[in-house]
Amino acid sequence: MSRPEDTLPPDLFYNDAESRKYTTSSRIQNVQVEMTNRALSLLHLQTPSLILDIGCGSGLSGEILSSVAPSSGGPHIWTGMDISASMLEIALQRDVEGDLLLADIGQGVPFRAGTFDAAISISAVQWLCNAESSDTSPQGRLARFFGGLYASLKRGGRAVCQFYPKNESQRSMVSAAAIRAGFGAGILEDGGGTKGAKVYLVLSVGGGLLRGLWRGWRGWMLRRGVGEACKGRGGRRLGGKGGSSGF
């Protein structure tokens, strides 16, 4: 099956018909909800927070943020960025609570420094790897995105980006761009090696915080600074067939 990213740019791929099909599919809804909850749990938010939803689409991910119960530290207030006007139009029709910006994350993140407590991105960042034109490159767009995201988060803030890397090289290109922007970064994989594998890039501003977070994790690839350290060589396998490691 061909990847949508390889067929069209995102604003053309997610036209009215595709956006509707995407949003009304109960299979997609379930997967997006599950991944958003996973991302949210990795953020460890204790109080109602201001969150950026990167590539928010029709709001399947964002509305989870609005519905977190006070007993679990919510509800959160979110702002979404998306490049597809059709997706945002559906978000409007669905009456989501978050604010919506029509914006290309490859152009940056237009918020002042230290705005957000946290950010999530569910199934969007891989789109940045497909940008071939005379005035942009995937590397340039990834750099502007992660640079802007880094600046827009408050100190100690975290971001979790679930994405679908096409291959090993896309996966390293994306994490390397995040690290170059200043993030402490790690990759967590649920169901590795299976068809339903999910990759989460976990980022923090001011790397110290991540240390405690890693401790509970079994065998995930850990990257800090520009170098890369593997925590337990069998790590990738451990995170594999057994599915999610959880906390």
Partner 1 sequence: MKILTVNFLTCAVKACKSSPLSFPLHFQDAELEQSDIEYNAAFLRNILPRVDWEALKITANELGFTTVPIEKPDLTPTSTATDKNPVRLPINTSEPQATDEKTMRDLHTLLLETEVREGKMVCGNCGHEYKIKEGIANFLLPSHLV
Q: Which C-beta is closer to ligand SAM: that of 76 or that of 223? A: 76
**Min CB(224)–ligand SAM separation in Å:** 27
Minimum Å distance from CB 179 to partner 1? 22
Q: How many CA atoms lie within 13 A of 199 on its CB side?
A: 23
Own/partner pairs, 92-96, CB within 8 angstroms, 24+ separation: 94/23, 94/58, 94/59, 94/63, 96/59, 96/62, 96/63, 96/66
Binding to partner 1 (CB under 8 A) within 61-80 occurs at 70, 75-77, 79
Least distance (Å) between residue 58 CB and partner 1: 13
- 148-187 binders of partner 1 (CB under 8 A): 154
State phi, psi for 33 to the nearest 5 degrees.
-65, -45
The token duo for 103 is 């914006």
Residues forming the site for ligand SAM (CB under 6 A): 10, 14, 32, 55-57, 60-61, 81-84, 87, 104-106, 122-124, 127-128
129 binds, among partner 1, ligand SAM, none (CB under 5 to 8 A by kind): none
CA atoms of 70 and 183, how far apart (whole Å): 29
Separation between Cα atoms, residue 10 and residue 81, nearest integer Å: 13
Sorted by sequence, the CB contacts under 8 Å of residue 8 that are 6+ apart come out as none
Which residues contact partner 1 by CB under 8 A?
47-50, 70, 75-77, 79, 81, 83, 88, 92, 97, 99-104, 107-108, 110-112, 114-115, 117, 135-136, 144, 154
